[in-house]
Amino acid sequence: LLLPLLQRCIQLLLLPIHLLSCLGIWDVIYKRVFPYVMAKVAPAFNQKVYRLKQELFSTLRDFTGPSGQLKLLEIGTGTGTNFQFYPAGCRLTCIDPNPNFSKFLLKSLSENRHVKLERSLVASGEDLSQIQDGSVDVVVGTLVLCSVSSCNGVLREVLRVLRLGGAFYFLEHVAADRSSRTYFWQKLCDPLWKYLGDGCCLSRETQEELEKMNFSELNLRRIRVAPFWTLTSPHIVGYAVK
């Protein structure tokens, strides 16, 4: 009974922001500010998971298609912090719903000239209609599925655009064990986190969503990212093959 009561209290405190959101004012302001926040936060996170990302993306070349060039689609590209881990010469398409990331994206591309950008599109992960069926070797999404409106919708689109035998690479913070204190605090802070994290949900069960999808192979492990006391410490990392 304590959790719902505390959640209601937080929702009351967030009422001014909620009203601004309903009027469309909060989103306009926040979407301009959020890229600057991520430009500061993302490099720090990258340092913490550098070796993990190196290991994760080391097998990207294994999914190169018949063309001989890896066709890679990244959803929720943000500031482009993953570019440094991509193999040289890969043909990259970037998708992000926030056009205000563009200048940070260009900066990252200038620092990673081994990557060849083919297209940069403004779209949500739930609507990849600008990408043809079965036209992509690899889809990458890191810290994306926590903030989309429909995790299932995104994964269905990922399966659609991947060629047979292609792979979806992911690194996501997820809900903690339901019996843990971390999970209690995740559920309590979710209403606030949603506004501060651009729709991010601390307690999303992303592993269950991946397991329900029609992937032929799912390679997934659960980890904790330091510092371990933070609400975003529980993560899943791996790749799924179509």
Cβ–Cβ contacts within 10 Å for residue 147, how many?
A: 19
CA distances, 187 to each of 10, 13, 201, 206, 222 (Å): 11, 16, 9, 15, 19
pTM of this prediction exceeds 0.85: yes
Tokens 């591309």 sit on residue: 109
| Domains of the chain by residue range | 1-241
CA–CA dist 69, 66 (Å, integer): 8
Q: How far is CA 148 from the centre of its chain?
A: 8
Do 4 and 188 contact (CB within 8 A), yes or no? no
Which CATH topology does 1-241 take?
Answer: Rossmann fold (3.40.50)
Residue 105 phi, psi (nearest 5)? -65, -45
**Strand 91-96 relative to strand 116-122: parallel, antiparallel, unpaired?**
parallel
* CB atoms closer than 10 angstroms to residue 122: 14
Burial class of residue 184, CB neighbours in 10 A (0-12, 13-18, 19+):
middle
Q: Report d(CA 130, CA 116) in Å as an integer.
A: 19
CB-CB contact of 93 with 159 (8 Å): no
pLDDT of residue 1: 67
Q: Where are the beta strands (DSSP E) in the chain?
A: 71-75, 91-96, 116-122, 136-142, 162-173, 217-224, 234-241
Low-confidence ranges of the chain (pLDDT < 50): none
Would you state the pLDDT for residue 5?
A: 85
